[in-house]
Structure 1
């Protein structure tokens, strides 16, 4: 029943702080692409894959006082609140294995250290592969969609191949 909320709270708790709405979207998308289910549906938008469901869930967690949303240098930052930790703990105690899930926290931490622009390129490439593009076509289409970030494309594809596919 509370699996979506629990998973988001667990992710934010594990990462400590996520700097940027775009970064949060991309981390969750890439974790989903790697097999961790956050129950989000994605569409392609200007900054790559975007889930309105995910943003609504984040907004709800903030409205309930479970997530803190602050501004740093004109960037939204997210962290779990004490109230959120208590709620997460209660869900763990009540539901036992129903809400718990394993996600590659080391991998998520690594993504959290990357720039949101880099994750935008990786996430766009992964999204194109998910929608049926072949590898070389996904590369070319990512380059076409993100010409301002083409300097990150080779590194992003390498990251995808050697980090995401290993998870």
Structure 2
């Protein structure tokens, strides 16, 4: 599956994604849960899992008129709302895979969370995928994300619940 299908189907499922960081975390979580193919390579940066490839694709899709990236008011920071343009929707249909993402309700639920919630959940899943668990997981998370440490248990619970819902044999 290519970027056009992944981004097109994601935007079709949720309508809009508010923020680059949120888009990054959504795609990372969806890849981890195997709801979309592992198309983008994620590393770890200050705000958690990040894919340079996804960032490049979003910018390119904007330049090519496939997605609308409009600046929105969010206080002191610039943020952007991403929506699919008709050109992207038509390309997805032409590629022959216009079926919606599986677990669309999970995708919508994730999109309804704040970018900080997704940052925490995505970071936990990233650390788990690199072998961290138990005390080591908590200690590493709290070291990387001191401002989110107070919510660790709640976000870990949310991550585990997602795994159980989508990956019944996991967690």
* TM-score (normalizing by structure 1): 0.89
Q: Evaluate the alpha carbon distance shift between residue 17 and residue 47 of structure 1 in structure 2; reply closer, same or farther with a 3 A threshold.
A: same
What is the match of residue 135 of structure 1?
134
**Distance of 2:148 and 2:5 partners within structure 1:** 34
* Residue of structure 2 equivalent to 1:91: 95
Q: Secondary structure at the match of 1:39?
A: coil
Show the 5 A alignment for 1:1-167. Answer: 3-35=2-34, 36-73=36-73, 74-92=78-96, 102-167=101-166
Q: How many angstroms apart in 1 are the aligned matches of 2:38 and 2:54?
A: 8
Is the CA contact 1:129–1:135 (under 8 Å) kept in the aligned structure 2? no
**Moved segments of 4+, more than 6 Å:** none
Q: Is the 8 A contact 2:9 2:100 kept in 1?
A: no
For structure 1, the residue ranges without an aligned partner over 5 or more in a row are: none
TM superposition score normalised by structure 2 = 0.87
How many aligned residue pairs are there?
A: 161
Superposed CA RMSD: 1.7
| Gaps in structure 2 of 5+ consecutive residues | 167-171
